[in-house]
Structure formats: C-alpha cells, structure tokens
Amino acid sequence: MLRETLFNRLPRSAYLWIGIIALILMPWVVGASGGNYWVRVLDFALLYIVLALGLNVVVGFAGLLDLGYIAFYALGAYSFALLASPHLPQQFETIAAAFPEGMHFSPWIVAVFSIILAALFGIILGFPTLQLRGDYLAIVTLGFGEIIRIFMNNLDRPFNLTNGPKGITAIDPIQLFGISFAKPLDLGFIQIPGLYLVFYLFLLLAISVAIVCLHLQDSRIGRAWIAIREDEIAAKAMGINTRNMKLLAFAIGASFAGVAGVLFSAFQGFVSPESFTLWESIVVLAMVVLGGIGHIPGVILGAVLLAIFPEVLRGIAQPLQQALFGHVIIDVEVIRQLIYGLALILIMLYRPGGIWQKGGNNS
Amino acid sequence: MDIFLQQIINGLVLGSIYALIALGYTMVYGVLGIINFAHGEVLMIGAMVSLSLLRLILGFTSDLPGWLTLLIVLPITMAVCAGLSYWIERIAYRPLRNAPRLAPLISAIGMSILLQTIAMMIWSRNPMTYPQLLPSIPIDVWGSGATITGKEIVIIVVALAVMCGLLFLVEKTKLGRAMRATAENTQIAALMGVNPNRVISITFMLGGALAALAGIMIASNYGNVHFYMGFIPGLKAFTAAVLGGIGNLKGAMLGGLLLGLIESLGAGYIGDLTGGVFGSNYQDIFAFLVLILVLVIRPTGLLGERVSDRA
C-alpha cells in the first residue's frame, strides 16, 4: 500500500533523477564494496551494452544475422592501437620521421575514422549478400570474422603491421579536454579514480547510443527495418528500398562496434587477436537474444547480465566445486559456454522474445 | 611442374573431403531451405568418436590390419553421427519450422556451441593425435617428383564411391524420389503420400553419416583431432555448396573438388605471386574470396537453377 502511494505521488522526472544519482554513485558503491576489479567489470559491461545495441540494430531491427560482428570491433580497436602507440614508428622509419614525437592521435579523431571504416567494411560485406537470403549474410560475416582474425594473426610478416598473436601494447590511454583517464582526477575536494572516470565516459556513450537506437526505432528508417524483418516482399511492395535499408542497418551496427573498439583498446592499453574470436561475436549475439531481440531495454539488460555473469560464475562455481569435490572438475569457462549454448537453444524454443520482451501485440 | 602436380593431388584430397561435407549442407538446404550451422560439429564429433573407438580396439589388440580396424570403426561412427544429426534436427530445427527465419539459425548456433563444449568436456581441450592406420609412405607419381600416399588414394576413392552411391540413392530409388519431391514442394509432396518429417529426418541422418566419414578422413589426413576442427571445414564446405549451386547434389560435388583445387593451388602459388608478401598461412582466405565472388557474380552457383532469393 505504502509503496503504491509513494510511487503514484512521485512525478516522472523524479525517477529520472533517482536513476541518474544511482548511476553516478554506482562506481563508488561498487568500488567500496567489491574493489576496483568490479568497477572494471562494470566498465566492460557498459562497452558490451554499446556492442549489443549495435548488433541489435542488425539482428533485432532488420532481422539479419551477423556472426562476425566482433570483426568491426576489432577494426576500431586496431585502428586506435596503430594510430596511438609506439608500434608503427618503431617498425617503419618513414612514420617515425613523420611523427618525431610519436604517434598520438586523439581517440575522438580515431573514433570518427573507425566509424567510417567500419561502416565502409559493413557495406562492402553486405553489398553482395543483402540481395540474397539472410542465411548467406550469416555465413559471409562468419567468414569475414575469421579472415580479420587471420590477418591480425599473420600480418607481422613480411612487414610488421599487427605484431601477430603477441598484439600491440603501450596504447595511449583515453584523453578528453586534457584530462587523462589513466590517472585520478583531482577536483580539489574529491579525487575521482581513473576507472570511475572511464565508467562515466562509457555510461555517456551507452546512453547516447541507446537514445540514437530509440530514435532510429521510431523513425521512418526503423519502421522500414521492421517491415523488412517481418515480410521482405511486402516491404518492397510498399516502396521500401530493401537493399539500401539493410545496408544502412548493417553499416550503423558496424559503426557502433567501431567506436566501442576504439574505446576498448584505449581503456585496455593492449590489443591482441585473442579478444576478437568468433566466441566474442557469439557472446554479443547471446546478449541480444537473451535480453530480447529488437527490444532496447531488454538488450541492455541482456548485456549487463551476461557481462557480469561470468564473474559471478567464477566467484561461485570454483569455490563450490572445491568444497564439494576437493578440486575443480569442470572449468568455469566450460560451464559458461555450456550455459550460453543451452540458453540460445532454449530461448529460441520457449521464449523467442527474450527475457524482457516487448509488451503488446508484437510478434 | 612437379609442384603443380603435387598441388593438384593435394587439392583432390581436400576437395573430395569438402564435397562430402558440402553434400550434407546441400541436402538439408534442398529439403528445408535452411543452412545447418551445426553440420561442422557433427563432423568433429565423428572424428572424436572414431578416435575413442580406435583407442578401444587398439587397446585390445594391435594385430588387426589397419584397414580392417577402420572398417569396424567407420560404420559405428557413421551411425552415431546419423543419430546425432537426427536429434539436432528434432531439437533445434523441427519445433522452429514455422518460426521467423532467424530462430532456427540462432538455435543451430547454440547447438553448435553446445556440441563443441560437450566435446571439450568428454575428450580434451587440447589437440589429440590420431592413430595412422593406413599406409602414409609417399609413392612417386609417374616419376615426376610429386607424391601421393596410400591414405590419400583411399580418401579420394572412398569419397568418390560414396558420392556415386548417394547419387544413385537420390536419383534412382523411391526414397530419393521422395526427397526430391520434398525439396520441390513440401506440401504437395505430402499430398502425394510422402511423409515430409520422415524424409527430412533421413536427409539429416544421411548428411550426418557423410560428415562422420569426412571427419575420419580429415583426422587421418592431418593426424590430429581438436574440438574446434569442425568450424573451418564446415565454412569451406558451405562455400563449396554455394559454388556448385546450393540444393544441387552434383553441384556440391563439383564445388567441393573445385574449391579444394583452388585452395591448394592458391596456397602453393600465393607466395610466388605476391613476391613473398603473403604465405600459405593465408590459405583459408581463398574459400572466403570464392564465396564472395560467387555471391556477386552468380549467386545460384555453377549448376544451380533455382533462384536463391525467394523470401
């Protein structure tokens, strides 16, 4: 009773403010109770939200299955790694001569660059396949993800571009208006640790991407996508240029991943092909599917759940097995894969809308 | 010249394996109109099961000749994989036959991950060596310097024989007619007294058995097995199926052989052609390039007649 009256009395804006304050306090609360490790987990969860929202544009809105999504993430990450680390000047004398103070491109410039790059690659990949059935796109993107990984792994010879499986290190940290996100920010009365700053930055990014997605969904474009997803022939008959619309969805999804990749490599300070395997694409897909295909709040929920889940699993499954059997029988990583695989099948069979599906008469 | 001949031989070996896998994709596509994403994993499970059986037999006795041991292992493995394929269809595809297009694709991916993980748990996370039971002494071909092993000859011959058998089954038998009718139009086939569910199940089982055979071939050819080994051959065999015209059996065979040849010739000459910039570690890229080119230039494939963009 009390709850009901309290909830009724509060205006809508109050919820908004409570939400904002909770999000601002979140890293402090988590940091105080769980330490920096968990703040890092939160930071990555936010990046995953951006990735999942991007994939949702492709899979959820336009109904196209993209299995190489992580390749676009890799494009962004490697773009920044190459343009803001000592790697290229060390390898090529001409570059060293052109940048006597080392290569330190701003992440923001590289972000714009990788939006264009990722979108371009999306269009190149999508062009031959999008006129055909969706299944072809799935396979082509699967292959593309694998190709990008082969290039990352092998382009250390004959000239060392990607440094092979060892990856690229010493990447510049994120900087914004002269503030470095690698060290604490001193505001006089309070010191904000770098990890917390990253949290706020990623939060802003995730919120902006979510807003962009919401607007896209309700726009002419979003309605066209949904029409294509539901019935392509009918959509075509209604005068929608299905090929261009699908290309657009593909390019927009790719560009979100590109931006996320830039921030990932700046945050991590290190990239290697290991971070961009097919498994990562599957994880992002699982986030979208689990949360609710095509439903933005659901996708966000899915991303948060699956980003935190392995950490929780690590905290529970390992000690539990130790206590029960005296040693670890099944590796946590294996349990995780098992659960993801099962979840993808079970959700498709029993709850195709995901755990937080759209209300109303939406199919 | 001997390099050329050698690459042709390697290509034929690879190609006949791809063709076997591609047949599985193409048959399923023919009757259901979907791509079976878990097909590569059936191959992997086949290789794993055969490894366990071989270890079991070799544990009892090592007196049996290699070919006899394989002859015992082969039918059991093929039966196991046919069963596995049957259950994949029952669990991941059949309940979703009338669902949106995306649903079976996603459930198949889940199935694929599940199978990989189960293989990882039962067998090993690490590559395991596969016993060599067939003669692998290189035989000189016509004194040209190119060599072929007894194992490779067996792979090519068995693959060709199995493919001929399958063609006979599909073209000449009653079951084959039912399959072709289902592929043409499921509803009308049902009206003519064909039980589509049964045909679809049998198709999946046939594909699974062929994948098991291909898995054993890959394992003996490379000498090791790995829980991840189904992925790349699966991707390439799909390319082969598209190259030949998906849904078309002869196309899958032709596409498989062609892709094998393209790949091994490409890998053999890429170093020379690019002045040493790219080496044979880029071998896997050829299949992808072929796939993209086919989709751009002739999406119906070499022998495909059906339009591939029906919604």
Closest-CA residue of chain B to A281? B109
Task: Give every CB contact of residue A318 below 8 A, 6+ residues apart in sequence.
Answer: A328, A332
Cα–Cα distance for residue pair A74/A313, rounded to 1 Å? 27
Give the tokens for residue B190. Answer: 């049902």
Task: Give every CB contact of residue B54 below 8 A, 6+ residues apart in sequence.
Answer: B69, B73, B130, B131, B133
Q: Is B271 in the A-facing interface, judged by CB distances under 8 Å? A: no
- The confidence band for B299, taking pLDDT boundaries of 50, 70 and 90, is confident
Per the CB < 8 Å rule, is B309 touching A132? yes
Task: Give every CB contact of residue A233 below 8 A, 6+ residues apart in sequence.
Answer: B311
| CB-count burial class (<10 Å; 0-12, 13-18, 19+) for B51 | buried
At B138, give phi and psi (nearest 5°).
-65, 135
pLDDT for the residue numbered A208: 93
Per the CB < 8 Å rule, is A344 touching B110? yes
Give the tokens for residue A46. Answer: 């936010």
β-strand pairing of B147-149 with A175-176: unpaired
Closest-CA residue of chain B to A233? B311
pLDDT tens digits, one per residue of B38-63? 999 999 999 999 999 999 988 887 77
Q: Which helix (H) or strand (E) holds B288?
A: helix B283-297
| CB-count burial class (<10 Å; 0-12, 13-18, 19+) for A61 | buried
Q: Are A298 and A81 in contact (CB under 8 A)?
A: no
Cα–Cα distance for residue pair A144/B153, rounded to 1 Å? 33
Encoded amino acid at A28, one letter: W
Per the CB < 8 Å rule, is B102 touching A134? yes
Q: What percent of chain B has pLDDT over 90?
A: 48
Closest-CA residue of chain A to B293? A128
**Phi-psi label, residue B142: left if phi above 0, alpha if psi -120 to 50, beta otherwise:** left
pLDDT tops 90 at residue B198: yes
Q: Are B48 and B119 in contact (CB under 8 A)?
A: yes
pLDDT tens digits, one per residue of B158-190? 999 999 999 999 999 999 999 999 988 888 999
pLDDT for the residue numbered A247: 92
Per the CB < 8 Å rule, is A65 touching B111? no
Contacts of A280 in chain B (CB under 8 A): none
Cα–Cα distance for residue pair B97/A212, rounded to 1 Å? 34
At A205, give phi and psi (nearest 5°).
-60, -50
Task: Give every CB contact of residue B56 below 8 A, 6+ residues apart in sequence.
Answer: none
Encoded amino acid at B98, one letter: N
Per the CB < 8 Å rule, is A345 touching B107? yes
Query: What average pLDDT score do residues B217-228 get?
Result: 90
Calculate the alpha carbon distances from A210 to A220, A256, A284, A285, A342 in Å. Answer: 17, 11, 16, 17, 28
pLDDT for the residue numbered B281: 74
Query: What average pLDDT score do residues B199-220 get?
Result: 94
DSSP string for residues in A81-116:
HHHTSSHHHHH-HHHHHH-TT-----HHHHHHHHHH
User: What sign results for the dihedral spanned by CA atoms A357, A361, A362, A363?
Assistant: positive
Per the CB < 8 Å rule, is A348 touching B103? yes
pLDDT tens digits, one per residue of B65-74? 878 888 899 9
Closest Cβ–Cβ partner in A139, A150, A233 for B35:
A139
Per the CB < 8 Å rule, is A348 touching B91? no
Q: Residue A128, preceding bond cis, omega within 30 degrees?
A: no
Q: Are A199 and A46 in contact (CB under 8 A)?
A: yes
Q: Are A206 and A49 in contact (CB under 8 A)?
A: yes
Q: What is the DSSP letter of A271?
A: B
- Mean model confidence pLDDT for chain B: 87
Encoded amino acid at A309, one letter: F
Nearest CA-CA partner of A164 in A277, A89, A274, A278: A274
Long-range contacts of B274-282 (CB under 8 A, 24+ apart): B276/A158, B277/A158, B279/A154, B279/A157, B281/A150, B281/A154, B282/A150, B282/A154
Ordered by start, the domain boundaries in chain B are 16-231
Q: Are B8 and B262 in contact (CB under 8 A)?
A: no
Give the tokens for residue B59. Answer: 């544990």
CA distance B257 to chain A (A): 20
Per the CB < 8 Å rule, is A348 touching B106? yes
Contacts of A128 in chain B (CB under 8 A): 292, 295-296
Contacts of A147 in chain B (CB under 8 A): 284-285, 288
Distance spanning both ends of chain B, measured CA to CA: 48
β-strand pairing of B128-129 with B224-225: antiparallel
Q: ipTM for the complex? A: 0.86
Chain mean position to CA B302: 19
Buried b (16+ CB within 10 A) or exposed e, A297-333: ebbbbbbbbbbbebbeeeeebeeebeeeeeeeeeebe
CA distance B34 to chain A (A): 7
Cβ neighbours of A19 (radius 10 Å): 10
Query: What average pLDDT score do residues B263-273 get?
Result: 81
Residue spans of chain A under pLDDT 50: 1, 361-363
Distance spanning both ends of chain A, measured CA to CA: 35
Chain mean position to CA A135: 23
Per the CB < 8 Å rule, is B235 touching A349? no
What is the pTM (predicted TM-score) of this model? 0.88
Q: Is B118 in the A-facing interface, judged by CB distances under 8 Å? A: yes
Return the beta strands (E) in chain A as ranges: 175-176, 179-180, 185-186, 191-192
Q: Are B311 and B100 in contact (CB under 8 A)?
A: no
pLDDT tops 60 at residue B1: no
Cα–Cα distance for residue pair A265/A205, rounded to 1 Å? 15
Give the tokens for residue A340. Answer: 């993801």
pLDDT for the residue numbered B307: 47
Cα–Cα distance for residue pair B186/B200, rounded to 1 Å? 10
pLDDT tens digits, one per residue of A151-187? 888 888 777 888 888 888 888 888 777 777 777 777 7
pLDDT for the residue numbered B102: 83
pLDDT for the residue numbered B42: 95
Closest Cβ–Cβ partner in B232, B276, B295 for A136:
B295
Contacts of A349 in chain B (CB under 8 A): 95-96, 107
At B148, give phi and psi (nearest 5°).
-140, 145
| CB-count burial class (<10 Å; 0-12, 13-18, 19+) for A341 | buried
